[in-house]
Structure 1
Amino acid sequence: MTVMAERPTTTGTEPDSFEGLLRTLDELDVPDGYAAEIIRGNIVVSPWSKGYYLDVMELVCEQLRQHVPEGHRVSYGPFLYVFPGVERAYGPDIHVAHRSASRSTGNELDGEALSLVAGLTSASTRDDDLTDKVVTYGKAGVPVYLLLDMQEEQATVFSMPSAKGYEARCTKPFGEKLPIPEPFGCVLDTTGFTAP
């Protein structure tokens, strides 16, 4: 496997099924500082986020925590959510899911348990965050997808999931307030989201 500093990379193997990709991903020895996901039939390895992204993730979690649906929890960290119907597996930066999703001894969590996902773009993941993940999360029925475009310094919230993806979106530049729709029904203050 070749790993490049600013580009996602695939393993170069072609397991015969989504389950085969999941097994390969589970056995993959990913180098420190890299994350792996399944995107469009490939295992994609990309570098972890920049340091200040942690501050942004904590600001988002702090603001959402008091608005999460009952029985759900907001968290960030490397957890893999699986969408077998579309053969995708993502490790979102921030995730709000029903607590029952984590009651497993495996490392593959049910993507249908998600009520919100948030992604912070990087140069290597931005295209997939803006395209493949928007469609996948929407088709899977995830109520809210929050995309923090760290390169353009703007936040977009996608809502009203449908068979085509999301039917609604709202974008604001960092520093402004962004409405987060139900089941959260709150406003996200994006002050402090820009690079130091």
Structure 2
Amino acid sequence: MSLVEERSAVVMSQDDFEEMARHAIRTNEALRLEFIGGQLGVKAVPDGNHGRIIQWLTRVCMQSRPDLWLHGAQGLRVETYRQGNARPDASLADSDQFVDQGEWAPTDGVLMAVEVTSRDRDTNQRDRVDKPRAYAETGIPVYLLIDRDTGEVKVHSQPDGVRYEQVTTVPFGKTVTLPEPVGIELETEPLKEWAR
């Protein structure tokens, strides 16, 4: 039985989760672990199209907001009630936001969390339910979901400490505005090419 199979069968503490994540890194296992709502999650390793979408978004953010940086895969401490750890595909924040932070950083100063759906069985629960709740609870102003399964971009904003009060959904090919404090317009036409 692998470490993941052994540990995922039991409820675990924050410390156990962090030790398991360190083990995956030390042994070079291709896992991206998260701990949201007291539940262990294993996130699929991104494919090439997933990576290309993040490249595209990085370029758009740099051109529109050169004062900020789209940090890839930095772990964030999420949830106010229970300890939790999420690893968004990207986080928009100041360039120095995560300097002197460990693998799991606080969300203060993160303006936007980004997820691109992966082709795995947990995508629906993780990216469409758990992550919006966790990011809203911690007060991240904008959650951007690039949903390759539905061919849509979903912009969640106005967190109230429990959920995002505003969700704007547009199909790939339309323009969508990422509200303040992000303040970027996305022309989503290129996403049609990388959605597969």
User: Which structure dedicates a bigger proportion of its chain to strand?
Assistant: 1
Q: Which moved more, 1:177-186 or 1:140-149?
A: 177-186
1:98 aligned residue: 94
1:73 is matched with which residue: 65, 69, 75? 69
Q: What CA distance in whole angstroms lies between the structure 2 residues aligned with 1:156 and 1:43?
A: 25
2:33 aligned residue: 36
Do the aligned partners of residues 84 and 178 (structure 1) sit closer, same or farther apart at CA in structure 2, a change above 3 Å counting? closer
Partner SS for 2:189: coil
2:188 aligned residue: 190
Do the aligned partners of residues 50 and 161 (structure 1) sit closer, same or farther apart at CA in structure 2, a change above 3 Å counting? same
Do the aligned partners of residues 69 and 38 (structure 1) sit closer, same or farther apart at CA in structure 2, a change above 3 Å counting? farther
1:82 aligned residue: 77
CA shift at 1:11, angstroms? 3.4
Q: Cα RMSD (Å) of the superposition?
A: 2.5
Matches within 5 A, 1:46-195: 46-68=43-65, 70=67, 72-76=68-72, 78-83=73-78, 85=80, 86-104=82-100, 106-124=102-120, 125-194=123-192, 195=195
- TM-score, length-scaled by structure 2: 0.83
Equivalent pairs counted in the alignment come to 189
Partner SS for 2:108: helix
CA shift at 1:183, angstroms? 1.0
The 8 Å contact of residues 79 and 134 in structure 2, kept in 1 or not, is answered as: no
Q: Give % identity.
A: 23
Partner SS for 1:61: helix
User: Which structure dedicates a bigger proportion of its chain to helix?
Assistant: 2
Amino acid aligned to 1:89: N
CA shift at 1:69, angstroms? 8.3
CA shift at 1:45, angstroms? 1.9
Q: What CA distance in whole angstroms lies between the structure 2 residues aligned with 1:170 and 1:62?
A: 22
Q: What CA distance in whole angstroms lies between the structure 2 residues aligned with 1:43 and 1:153?
A: 28
CA shift at 1:10, angstroms? 6.0
Amino acid aligned to 1:185: G
1:11 aligned residue: 8
Q: What CA distance in whole angstroms lies between the structure 1 residues aligned with 2:66 and 2:50?
A: 25
Q: What CA distance in whole angstroms lies between the structure 2 residues aligned with 1:123 and 1:53?
A: 10
Moved over 4 A (4+): 29-32
CA shift at 1:91, angstroms? 1.0
Structure 2: give runs of 5+ residues left out of the alignment: none
Q: What CA distance in whole angstroms lies between the structure 1 residues aligned with 2:159 and 2:58?
A: 22
